[in-house]
Amino acid sequence: MKNNLEYRSVIRLCLLYICFLVPPPYFAHFPHGHCSKTFSNLTIQQQYQISGTVTDNYGPMPGVHVLIKGTKTGTFTNPQGEYFLLVNNNDILVFSYLGYHSRELPVLGRTTMDVEMKSEVTELQEVEVNAGY
């Protein structure tokens, strides 16, 4: 009987710690900062760094805008076409550059993501200019 009471005390102390001592934002979505009756819907996403290289037909692309969709968080690729960004597992990255098709790619737990950009403009063929009248 004594072990059972000690076990309950430990459980109560753990719940007290989880409910009231853990600082926001972990429990900011609960009304008045109090714990919910169940923790099944609680998901804490941990950010991690993703990196990669953006290229086109000619090699690395500096200055490509890499943005987390739906946010104002983003970066630009460096002179070697590399980017580094803090993301969550369910984020979608948007790669954009003037004259190229934008690409939207889900992170899906990846830590590296290399991207090849496709030009919006097709290259001109040879043009013959006739100066005669």
Per-residue pLDDT tens digits for 31-65: 554 554 444 444 567 899 999 999 999 999 999 99
Q: Are residues 64 and 90 in the same domain?
A: yes
pLDDT of residue 27: 47
Span 68-125, pLDDT tens digits? 999 999 999 999 999 999 999 999 999 999 999 999 999 999 999 999 999 997 666 6
Q: Return the C-alpha torsion angle 23, 27, 29, 30, nearest 10.
A: -120
Contacts of 63 (CB under 8 A, 6+ apart): 76, 77, 97
Residue 129 domain-assigned? no
Gap between the Cα atoms of 18 and 28, Å rounded: 13
Cis peptide before 25 (omega within 30 of 0): yes
**Which residue range is the domain that position 58 belongs to?**
48-116
Residue 87 domain-assigned? yes
Gap between the Cα atoms of 81 and 55, Å rounded: 7
Q: Are residues 86 and 59 in the same domain?
A: yes
What is the mean pLDDT of the segment spanning 4-17? 55
Q: Are residues 60 and 110 in the same domain?
A: yes
pLDDT of residue 51: 97
Residue 130 — pLDDT band, cuts 50, 70, 90?
Answer: confident
Q: What does pTM read for this prediction?
A: 0.60
